[in-house]
Amino acid sequence: MSNSTDPSAAGAPRRPAYWNPYAIGAGLGILSWIVFAVVNQPLGISTSLSAVSSSCAVPFLGSEGVAANAYWKKTPLKLDYGTLFLVGTFLGALVAALLSRSFRLETVPAVWAERFGAGSGVSRAIVAFLGGALVMYGARLAGGCTSGHGISGSLQLAVSSWVFFLTLFGAGLVTARLVFGPTRS
């Protein structure tokens, strides 16, 4: 079982046909030409998402507490370009999933199930929450995520973005090995 050849297919009831990844990458590259030229914005997700998080802090801190926070003062939540880009990202993925009939409710993904069992929905949820928190904290500490640094920053040859890309990849390799064990090819 653990030696099965293709883990992404192992135990997976679905195998949706995706587009060629090189074509997708080229599409993202061309999208960044257009976005840079037409609206003078880089591609980015995490800046606006952290602004959205300020609304979650209102119940704990009160709206005065949020308004007084130095970080949210710098990036307040408003219906601006970045926030609407997030809305668009959600809608685009939704429509693409519906049109390609690949919308599926998933609580325990196949690779997780292979390692921790199909009934590990609770541990998957806890780890997803913790992982999400780390992702966002790391993105804000670094000043960007896989979009803002990884694609948009790297393509501008920004030093910060290449440092981010390489450290993220290295940490990801080590974490994957610790969580899932060594890969046999």
Partner 1 sequence: MQFPISGPAALWLAVLFGFVFGALLQRGGVVDYNKIVSQFRFRDFTVLKIMLTAIVVGGIGVFTLHGFEAAQYHIKPANLLAVGLGGLVFGVGMVLYGYCPGTGIAACATGSVHGLIGFLGMLAGGVIYALTFGWTEQHLQKVAALGKVRLPDLTGVPDWIWFVALAVLALAVFSWIERIERARALAASVPRR
**Within 22-81, which residues bind partner 1 (CB under 8 A)?**
22, 24-43, 45-46, 49-50, 52-54, 56-57, 60, 69-72, 79-81
CB 154 → partner 1: shortest distance, Å? 5
Cβ count near 56 (within 10 Å): 10
Tokens in use for 81?
Answer: 């370009």
| 47/27 Cα distance (integer angstroms) | 23
Query: What residues numbered 88-107 form the site for partner 1, per CB under 8 A?
Result: 88-97, 100, 102-107
110 counts as binding partner 1 under rule CB under 8 A: yes
13 counts as binding partner 1 under rule CB under 8 A: no
109 counts as binding partner 1 under rule CB under 8 A: yes
Q: Determine the size of the site formed for partner 1 (CB under 8 A).
A: 133
**Residue that has been written with the tokens 């209102």 in this structure:** 58
The amino acid sitting at 39 is: V
119 counts as binding partner 1 under rule CB under 8 A: no
The amino acid sitting at 164 is: F
CB 93 → partner 1: shortest distance, Å? 4
- Cα torsion through 91, 111, 132, 179, rounded to 10: -160
| 14/100 Cα distance (integer angstroms) | 12
Query: What residues numbered 155-174 form the site for partner 1, per CB under 8 A?
Result: 155-174
Query: Which of 62, 87, 118, 119 lies at the binding interface for partner 1 (CB under 8 A)?
Result: 87
CB 49 → partner 1: shortest distance, Å? 5
| 185/175 Cα distance (integer angstroms) | 18
117 counts as binding partner 1 under rule CB under 8 A: no
Tokens in use for 107?
Answer: 């609580």
